[in-house]
Amino acid sequence: MINWNNLDTLEAFKELKETPLVDLNKVMSGEAGAERVKTYNIPMAEGLNYNFAAKKVDDTTLKALEKLATEAELSDKFAALYNGEVVNTGENRLVLHHMTRGQLGEAVNADGVDKRTFYTTQQKRIAEFADKVHNGAITNGAGEKFTTVVQIGIGGSDLGPRAMYIALENWAKKNNSFKMEAHFISNVDPDDASAVLTSIDVAHSLFILVSKSGTTLETLTNESFVKNALKEAGLDPAKHMIAVTSETSPLAKSDDYLDAFYMDDYIGGRFSSTSSVGGAVLSLAFGPDVFADFLEGASAEDKLALNKDVLKNPAMLDALIGVYERNVLGYECTAVLPYSQGLSRFPAHLQQLDMESNGKSVNRFNEPVNYPTGPVIFGEPGTNGQHSFYQLLHQGTNIVPLQFIGFKNSQLENDVTIQDSTSQQKLCANVAAQIVAFACGKDDNNPNKTFKGGRPSSIITGDKLTPKSLGALLSHFENKVMFQGFLWNINSFDQEGVQLGKVLAKRVLAHDTDGALKVYSQMLGI
């Protein structure tokens, strides 16, 4: 029997708060720092590594975190999740996104079907459809090949798939796996859809409408926008559109689409990149084999999350350190800083993943919690961020924990040597320098040039950003968010916080307003 208890009731958490604070400047200096970097390292899947040497932890802290993981029953709660217990208590649903990339435990039956079989069936259908598009068996109304794919969706139907597409676009071009250019329409702002439609050849474009319920206002509005553009071009929208939706939605089995591929209520939008939501666009853009490799990388990292040994479970340790920083050290934010241009939209995806999951103030039993939960997540790729917000990170009054990501090699391997080093070497030199600068700081007689240091960071390193390493990277952060939700005793898998604004917006459009809502509506010309 699993016990779901608030963080502040756990004896191990009380012990954690009593552990001596680590002087990061001291432990990261000199030979001690060098040895620490070599030691505080955990292998991840697909050649990645999680290094936490520049975090404010030592062996004493780690032992306290191990006790916390045991008392909080993190491994047992993960097992309950992947074995099909109702972990999403807010919506009374299973949580099965792991099953889109592998079977971690027992067979799970829901809605009268084996769910692993359901997901693999959809992946196979998408693969067959993508192959037919690529070989010309499925064409536009004029019998010509589609050259572009456009995903219409918002939130998890956009952020994750868009981030994954951007991450693999250059790799696919380098490795002869680039099949179709992809674009994304998400914002209900008409300028978004207009900008995409004016930049593509509509006649040779295939559109993917993604909406689990088939009722998402922004997505259906953009669908109408696209259909209107197709009709104005003398094209039949039904020959240019497919749907990714649930089997019970009004979009399923409709003559308005070439085909429909299915998801279910057991996969939240922000966890859906490895489902049909990401599968359709990524398989069309890069081919089904690339998407399969992406799933393989995610599955390999999921298996590491099963390990009960915290020091062999990178996602669990990352989660524990994050809770220590949030609830003991009092840090309110986390910056995600990928030193890879391919990951330029990865922080935006993680922002939704983390903040929509763990931005909660009541526990799983709808009782208020008396401690901070999810941090504010933000980030940009390096080295761009260094010339933007790093000033505050280095010398601001708030300490912001940092999560760096870096690769030894670039995706395109197209580089030049300038001043005795390549561009990639300069990139990697910058991330190494930033970690030490944040940790150790610098003394100066001029206070304006003094860096106090003591600013914690971790780094995930790898050889190159590939489909498999991207899948492992995605899985790491998904599992980190899950473990932190378990520690905070909150439900990470619903998102009631996005609903109120939607309800009020419908009232505005129906002119059913009064008070401040009415005045603001009038101010905006509604």
Using 50, 70 and 90 to split pLDDT, how confident is the model at 132?
A: very high
pLDDT in tens, 485-505: 999 999 999 999 988 888 999
Residue 213: the pLDDT is 87
> Does 415 have pLDDT greater than 90?
no
Which tokens is 19 given? 């552990």
Residue 253: the pLDDT is 85
Position of tokens 């961020």?
Answer: 385
Amino acid at 266: Y
> Does 340 have pLDDT greater than 90?
yes
Decide: residue 110, CB within 10 A, 0-12 exposed, 13-18 middle, 19+ buried: middle
C-alpha torsion 71→7→379→295, nearest 10: 40
Closest CA to 263 of 283, 280, 246, 243: 246
For all residues of the chain together, what is the average pLDDT? 96
Residue 291: the pLDDT is 98
Closest CA to 465 of 166, 116, 207, 142: 166
Catalytic residues: 356, 387, 502
% of residues, the chain, pLDDT over 90: 94
Which tokens is 195 given? 């900008």
Which tokens is 477 given? 């952060």
Using 50, 70 and 90 to split pLDDT, how confident is the model at 356?
A: very high
CB count, 10 Å around CB of 140?
Answer: 18
**Residues 380-389: what's their mean pLDDT?**
96
- Phi, psi torsion values for 380, nearest 5 degrees: -145, 160
pLDDT in tens, 363-381: 999 999 999 999 999 999 9
Residue 87: the pLDDT is 97
Which tokens is 412 given? 């395109």
Residue 460: the pLDDT is 98
CB count, 10 Å around CB of 240?
Answer: 24
Strand partners, 93: 88
H/E element, 210 = strand 205-210
Residue 453: the pLDDT is 97
Residue 118: the pLDDT is 97
Residue 215: the pLDDT is 83
> Does 309 have pLDDT greater than 90?
yes
pLDDT in tens, 417-452: 999 999 999 999 999 999 999 999 999 999 999 999
